[in-house]
Structure 1
Amino acid sequence: MSSKILPTNRGSLRRSGRNLIKLLGGKVINVPLSLIQISLAIHLLGDKGYGFLILIYSFTQTIGDLAEFQSWQTVLHYGLKPFEDNNIPLLQRVIRFSFFLDLVSCALALTISFFCAVYFNNELGWPNEWHYLGIIFSFTVMFTTSATSNGILRLLNRYDLIAIQSLVATLVRFCGIVFLTLVGGDIRGAVLVWMLAAFANFSSFLYFALTQLHKKNLLKGLFTHIKGGLSKDLPGIWKFAWNTNINMTFSLAFKQITTLVIGSILGPVSAGHYNIAGKIAEATAKPIVLLQSTLYPEMVRSWNSSKPSHLYKMALQITLLTGVITSLLFIVLPYIAFPLLKLLLHKNPAHDTLTLLYWLAGAELIGIWGMSLEPILITTGNTSGAIYARGITVLVFLPLLFLFIYQWEMQGVGPAAIIAAFVLILLQFFFIFKNKFFKHNQSKHFL
């Protein structure tokens, strides 16, 4: 058996590392441009205008993610083996199934987004004078369903194109906000720029994916040779797709939904400040977080091989390495947090914003130490364990979020995020070991 079919643990780590370097190449440009764009947007629009922009963006992202099936995981999970076996009809069936999920997600997201934007703008914390802008922006939810394109590029190991594509939206927003600054634009121009960025992000992803399929001779017959239904010879694909979608729905509570809750209770200014603090905390851990996305295909390869123990060895090595490195990196955060926030906000940051940043950075650090746990659950087919872990954590997090915000306002988000991060890791550990123990007992009973 060739090393391509049975990868060594070292080979998987090396391949994952190469893909990480490709992704980081895009972030080297993306991060500073994103920070400059935020600073210019706040200078142009003020705290309230920028906060509103973040609220409508978080709203469409939330609806899009809620409706979207995480079909990139489906493409990897079901498409890797037929791709390596050169089974083109089966691989095309996987891709076709995934594109179908994207279309359904798009239609559902657009319906929900428009309805909520029209009838629940006050609950979402949108200022009345800008309500119509939120309704217009709600149509960009159509451009949030790029999961299949993402999965295709991962499957074909084109992380370089993913890195290039990740720059598109940031470049559009950066160029747009620079132009608006020069001509004296306002919130309407900023909303238009953000809409153009969403469209450019979607269309570039789709273009790269279709181009690569064409180069691999996988595009011909993809949408014409349809026989036997969407899921023929793909046992369990519907269950896998539903489970990964539900899992992502739960994970939203830690990102976009938190922004919406803050905006609803405290207003757009607080939502904007939370967004900035969250972006800085995420940027500190971003290189390590990106590594998680490169682990999925390597874990699938290991699990499909005759030595699935490579999966657990690789996960342990990655966890120890990234956990130690990130812990060291976070030591420097207190020295850069204040000047960075001052640069972005164009004034000395409030004490609660600075404190929130440290809380959120702590939650990110905890998440890094558990980075490999969810990929293990999904790769080994224990998607229900991943769902239960996320679902229980959300049931803990959301009540704490509301309670702590009403008690301590924006600073209350931090303790809720820390507690939720600990709960999530403990639950994921529990379901991994429960699954292994159950399978071990089953094998002993069988023997």
Structure 2
Amino acid sequence: MQSWQTLIHFGSEAFASKDMPLLRKIIGFSIRLDTLSATIALTLGIALALIYGAIAGWSQHIIMLALLYAFCSPFMYTGWSNGILRLSGKFHAAPIMDFLASAFQTSATFVGYKLHYTLGYFLLIWGLTRVIDYTASVCFALSSMKMNIIKIYVHAFQTRKWHLPGMWAFTRNVTLNQTLGSISGQVATLIIGGHLGPADAAIFRVSRQIADGMATPAQLLTPVLYPELIKMRDQNNWRGLKKLTFIMFSSLLFLSSLLIILSFFSGGKIFSFMFHETVSNSSLYISMMLVATACNLLLVPLDPLLTVMNRVRFLTINRTIITLLYFPLLYVFTSQMGLYGACIATVLSSAAVLLSRFVGIWLFRSDFRTR
């Protein structure tokens, strides 16, 4: 659950006015959301490892590794701590935490690659990386608010029935919208792998990862932009809010265009470097994935804008419909055109999501005039 957005959306005004009792209640609600998410994730992780492992024909050894790795899932939920850091303007903490986790993961992966370690080692490294990231996030958050972790957890569950009006509805819609966007790529890889085999699934996955990697610096703007838009909302600065959104969208459109051009000429070289072999049409695959990523990138200013306008339900409905249409379209296109068809389906899905955001802004343009 996107507890960090809930914390910022409902706690920004309390933080600005130093209303600590109210802010502690909102933080407590976010902690309960993360705890609920972790519990559900652990349960689903164990169940799905057994179910999918049997369907995919995994060995008992790999199923056991998957079950053990499922216990890392509680450490993936740092929503409340990240929300505190973003609310208090501690944006420098995010790159520090990312650097610590990435440095450990990259160096340990390099060692395992050179020494030819097996799957269990790499899953252990991935799990330890999550623990490092979780520990750093919680420590930074507690130090920024001068809170004790035991007291804040005790307070969170002592007042478990408390929440602001509309808080659950907001959390549910934001979470569903974000989750559908996140899992679509994972499910797509499974569909392609089951239909075309692991080699094509790996090419699709790596192409998408290269595209996402090239766009990552711009994607990091979302955690920074959303708190700023919330502050402008609380200050009734709607003119500044619209201006900031337009500037961000124009900048990201220009950056996306440059990345697509760059990928067309150098995508194949990057792919060959990672795979140690030349794959035909790799530049085309990466370019198409980057077009899909660019569509997602342009959502960075649009989704927070509609969220601030309390149009989260509109975002969720559109994302749900498009995702449900994407999976059968992906299957059909992959069956007819192979990996090329899978890339086309992915681009069409991302473009449809972007188009729906423009439709939403046009439909709700009167909200700005009223304010």
Q: What is the TM-score normalised by the length of structure 1?
A: 0.76
Q: State the Cα distance separating 1:355 from its structure 2 match.
A: 2.8
CA contact (8 A) 1:353 1:411 kept: no
Distance in 1, matches of 2:231 and 2:317, equals 25
Counterparts of 1:397-408 in structure 2 under 5 Å? 397-408=326-337
Give the one of 132, 136, 152 matched to 1:204: 136
Identity of aligned residues (%): 25
Give the one of 325, 330, 341 matched to 1:412: 341
What SS does the corresponding residue of 1:317 show, helix, strand or coil? helix
User: Is 1:340 the counterpart of 2:270 in the alignment?
Assistant: yes
Structure 1 residues 235 and 252 mapped into 2: Cα distance closer, same or farther (>3 Å)?
same
The residue type paired with residue 113 of structure 1 is G
The residue type paired with residue 296 of structure 2 is G
Structure 1 residues 351 and 127 mapped into 2: Cα distance closer, same or farther (>3 Å)?
farther
Counterparts of 1:13-412 in structure 2 under 5 Å? 69-123=1-55, 126=58, 130-214=62-146, 222-225=152-155, 229-230=159-160, 232=162, 234-348=164-278, 350-412=279-341
Distance in 2, matches of 1:122 and 1:263, equals 16
Q: State the Cα distance separating 1:104 from its structure 2 match.
A: 0.9
Alignment match, 1:25: none
Q: State the Cα distance separating 1:402 from its structure 2 match.
A: 1.3
The residue type paired with residue 165 of structure 1 is M
Distance in 2, matches of 1:353 and 1:374, equals 31
Provide, for residues 350-397 of structure 1, a one-character-per-residue CA deviation record: whole Å limited to 9, x for no partner.
225443212101112233334321111111111101112211221221
Unpaired stretches in structure 2, ≥5 consecutive residues: none
Q: State the Cα distance separating 1:154 from its structure 2 match.
A: 0.8
Distance in 2, matches of 1:297 and 1:264, equals 41
Q: State the Cα distance separating 1:100 from its structure 2 match.
A: 0.6
Provide, for residues 187-231 of structure 1, a one-character-per-residue CA deviation record: whole Å limited to 9, x for no partner.
2222222222222222222222222221xx687953445699446
Distance in 2, matches of 1:124 and 1:169, equals 31
Distance in 2, matches of 1:168 and 1:269, equals 32
Q: Work out the number of aligned pairs and report it.
A: 371
Distance in 1, matches of 2:169 and 2:357, equals 20
Structure 1 residues 181 and 283 mapped into 2: Cα distance closer, same or farther (>3 Å)?
closer
Q: What is the TM-score normalised by the length of structure 2?
A: 0.91
Structure 1 residues 370 and 136 mapped into 2: Cα distance closer, same or farther (>3 Å)?
closer
CA contact (8 A) 1:153 1:209 kept: yes
Distance in 2, matches of 1:265 and 1:137, equals 26
Structure 1 residues 181 and 316 mapped into 2: Cα distance closer, same or farther (>3 Å)?
closer
Distance in 2, matches of 1:122 and 1:353, equals 32
What SS does the corresponding residue of 1:159 show, helix, strand or coil? coil
The residue type paired with residue 305 of structure 2 is I
Unpaired stretches in structure 1, ≥5 consecutive residues: 1-68
What SS does the corresponding residue of 1:255 show, helix, strand or coil? helix
The residue type paired with residue 104 of structure 1 is L
Q: State the Cα distance separating 1:92 from its structure 2 match.
A: 0.7
Distance in 1, matches of 2:280 and 2:115, equals 34
